[in-house]
Amino acid sequence: MTKHIIAAAHSSSLLLDRAACIAKACDVIDEAGRSSVELLCFPETCIPGFPYWINLYPPGRQHGICVRYANESVDLSGRDLAPICEAAARAETNVVMGISERDGGTLYNTQVFISRDGAILGKHRKLQPTFAERMLWGQGDGSTLNVFDMSVGRVGGLICYEHMMNLARQALILQRLEIHCASWPTFASSRQRGGAYDLTVETLMRAHAITGQCFVIVAQNPVTQQYLDTMESLLGPQDVLATGGGCSTIFAPGGATIAGPHTGLEEKLVIAEIDLADITRAKVLVDSAGHYARPDVLELVLDKTPRNGWAQR
Give the mean model confidence (pLDDT) for residues 262-283: 98
Q: Is the pLDDT of residue 106 over 70?
A: yes
162 band by pLDDT with thresholds 50, 70 and 90: very high
Flag the least confident range among 144-148, 230-234, 308-312: 308-312
Torsion angle (degrees, nearest 10) of CA 38, 214, 250, 20: 50
- What percent of the chain stands above pLDDT 70? 98
Domain residue limits, the chain: 3-312
pTM: 0.97
Chain segment 67-100, per-residue pLDDT in tens: 999 999 999 999 999 999 999 999 999 999 999 9
Chain segment 233-252, per-residue pLDDT in tens: 999 999 999 999 999 999 99
What residues are labeled active site? 44, 126, 160
Give the mean model confidence (pLDDT) for residues 260-281: 98
Rounded to a whole number of angstroms, the distance between the first and last alpha carbons of the chain is 42
Q: Which fold has domain 3-312?
A: Nitrilase/N-carbamoyl-D-aminoacid amidohydrolase (3.60.110)
Q: Is the pLDDT of residue 311 over 80?
A: no
Give the mean model confidence (pLDDT) for residues 142-171: 98
Chain segment 23-74, per-residue pLDDT in tens: 999 999 999 999 999 999 999 999 999 999 999 999 999 999 999 999 999 9
Residue burial 251-280, b: 16+ Cβ < 10 Å; e: rest: bbbeeeebbbbbbeeebebbbbebebebbe
